Structure 1
């Protein structure tokens, strides 16, 4: 038996025992209970019934809701369980309701018959008769006492006079009272009591107000009344005599004992009426208690029927429910070990076969999951490699749509390529030329078997009017007609190769050309010295012009060779802490005239951290940049050059670097120059060699600084400069705070 079935049977047994015990208790006390039992214990008896009924109803409702939820969810066997529960509930409910209806009518009629209306009328009539008799005795004694008081004389104020009055009134005692109720004279026929009980002040006030007060005493307590203490007391106000004007009011108090038979009859009638009224009050409580218990029995029967239906239904449908639950779990992908119904019939065998099949499915799925996990691990490994590649990777599907891109593609092409997944490369802004070149190279691949399925090519790709990338592209054809592109940005490599080639050319030129220049110059000067005195006229002038030309050209060649030598063999940098502002001020001292004319301005940051640099080489950088800027604005009447510095700080205030900016309002850089400005022999000057910016770039690289060239538009220009070029150098190597700042040398 399952845990739920055991719990249901234990709950039903407990409820049945509790209800049976309660019924037996009520039946035992219903006939032998003391007076007022049901009234005293009605509350807890009522709440005991309510509590028991509530528990049973809660269990019944919970069981019903559970069955309805199973039916709504479509659980297998739920409708069978619901049908069995309904059948058993009807089996318990119909007889229970019939028994309840018959018992209800029987209880109502039986309890009503216990209380006869004629008996109630007789008791009321006897009680009224006793009250009338007692009231007549009280009225008779009062009237006679009043009559005696009205005919009172001083002769009657003595003991002898009071004795005559007692005999006339057939009283137990007669007393003459003062104004405050004190006993002045007393006579009594009872020798056990010498002095009568002093009346209460309220009785005296009432007697004073109305002249007479009479009341019945001693019937409240049954024991006292049966001992002869029941009596009638009458107090009358005596008339005031002339001789006693100063003595205050006097009262005549007469006490007459009630006959014992009358007292006994009155008490018997009063007790019988009180007991009847008490029984009448308990009638409703008894009725409610019995009806509540009957209701509890009805609920108990339905409860037992429902629990029996659930328990038996589960036993009947348990194998099918196990099988249905297992099928549902397998349909949801749960292939854990399934329970088997412990029986040797066909249903038990079916559950065992199903459990074996589920285990086989679980083993097969575990194998598939391992294969998928290995595949995902390989895919993750490949994706990690792609994400960490500096090269760009693009995979196209058979329809030439972008299938996969890596972060290197976005970084190189400066375009959010991942946002264009599933679209053509031609749809990406600015990449139509690149797409055309890629598909042209793929179309040129031969289709013959054994032919190479990959290609490699270099391409100049313009990012914008100011920047052009040199891309080394490799393409390959994948299975299912997919295409793979891998490319690298080799712009820096090409620029470095060109710089290295120019450095080698400069070294060879400096070595091959410089040696014969001095002999040529000396030979020309010697010819002039030997022949100048021997020639005259036009011949002498021609000789002087020819020798001057040779000497000037030799000097120009020497300067060119020296520049090539400087570019090819720059000395190693000596990094020391220095103040960039001080170094700039030292160099700009050479341009005092330009500053006075307003063509050169300098705006330096007030607080600038020290950098690590070579003062000699940085002077050359500043000098070359300033000279180039001044040359660019030389032909403009309003030409301006602005040199400024600024510090870059982190959000926490920590210094990150120093930036040098040089702006001019000249014509700017030409597009062909801007793309290859740092290569040797690239210049727009008529007499320039194109080595200035190349040397500047090389020095910046040695310092770990970044130099950038750009053209400015109107909105980008600071202050009065309207249009021109900008050179920016960012220094990231800062000197330690404790390091002393090197003072710029004055020799430059």
Structure 2
């Protein structure tokens, strides 16, 4: 997110102020360094200070003039802001005045006090007390060095006792530990003859460490330890790094009666401040007499430096007062600009100061709060987007459910439906939202049944704690004036929050039909087994009876016997044909799906019907007309079973067309690229199917023909299921009248 323009302007002003503060501070620091440098050299080189005093004065005047111009420029800007009524102007003026007075008045007071102090102090430096103080300082330094030497000597003697039983192989490690314990910069173990045995510290990096003198070795043998301060007698100019305390201690050798004792040497560097102070006291005492003759010049140098420093400090204090006032007001300006932007609804990132003071922390807290508000708004937007997406996903799920979903209120009024409900019930339920389900045309019985089931469910839930109800229902679905379809539903209901009622239902007509077909197949198998066996003995017994009685009966009785035997034989043959058809239905083999050309199969079957028509009279012949789509691709199917399907459909269509005014059967293939399926349609011009037949047309032994077995469409349905094809059966309605029937199958194309 881009930073707003007011915030960018404030940041630009802040950068300009920081540059001004940096440049001013650099100039003041440079002048202060020059003053301190000259003041440092004034004691040793009074001539250098006096020679550069006028130049320094000119530089201070020029810098003071520049700073005064900057102060005037900043003051003009402040008054200009005040006239324009900008936020924070009065606060800036107040802060600048407070800081200026706070810096100027105490500075002026300190100057007069310092002037009197310097004038009187310089005279007091050169009296008997000063000289006594210098002597006391020298004595104090000696006492301090003696105390340090004695302390290191005691520690070294104790350390020497620890090395008595340490073997030479472990001596370097032991010396390294002792060096850390003392502490010391360097630890060396010498033999009694001054030969190096082991070392730790700085001496390890030296080829020839400094050996103790013979006199020092003799003193150690008699006194058991010796402490020496080195580097303070004749130090190099400005160098105190060589000042150190060196201690030698005697290391006994237990168990070695004739062995020579060893010497442990520990070296500890003096603190730089202590060495510097000791040298300074010596140098001060040496120069005391020299400075006593230059009292007046020294006083003039110090007072001049003090005056220049005061002048620079006063000008700098006024400038810093204005700048620091601006620094204090800048966070408030940032906050004011940020508050106005937030009030206007702009939650873009706000500038924040990185200082560690409370005002900087306040700007950071405000920026964090604004960021949190922006994050919260983004989170709300994301949540709303997620809710919208979830709602869209839920709506997509509901729209693509094969099951129907209806939400009802406690009065049974339709509140929400999904396309699946319209698809299953074949009624545009969206137009009936807000109205009772029981008033929907064609669903009056279904709506009343649903309301009754919900009432019973609520009573049972209070008694038994049920969370839903489920039951099947059979209804005749379809819009008024359109063909009605018998649909078997399984409905499930539950109560939703707010006393709403959820109704979910699905069309299980195909499942019920498949179950019935499976049941009929089992019945057919058992009938074929139970009925066929006694038919042959019955037929043989009747024929044998006729043979035995032939010529033994009178003519009338003989004719009656022959007629009865023929009747038995004909009926047995009819029952055999019926049993064989049931057996074939029950034993229909599984389809072997392969890519086949549906148009070619249709042409082959229709050609058979054309040859059969050659032997029939024109009055009994029902022509079959083909309408084949040349764009139909190959489908996945079993050619033999598809021929049986086409034969059954054509035979049924011809039987239905007999006696009709228009005697014609049409078989048609259609390629539908949208669904990528091939459709086979057979139409007749007969009287159509009665309503009760349409409900169960695909069940075995359901037929409208007097001599039919009712297995033709059942076989078609079973083969269609093997091919995963959808079968539709309906009456053809033209101008409100039934003009025949139509059977259609939809096949998937080959991959």
TM-score by length of 2: 0.49
Which structure would you say has the larger Rg?
1
TM-score by length of 1: 0.49
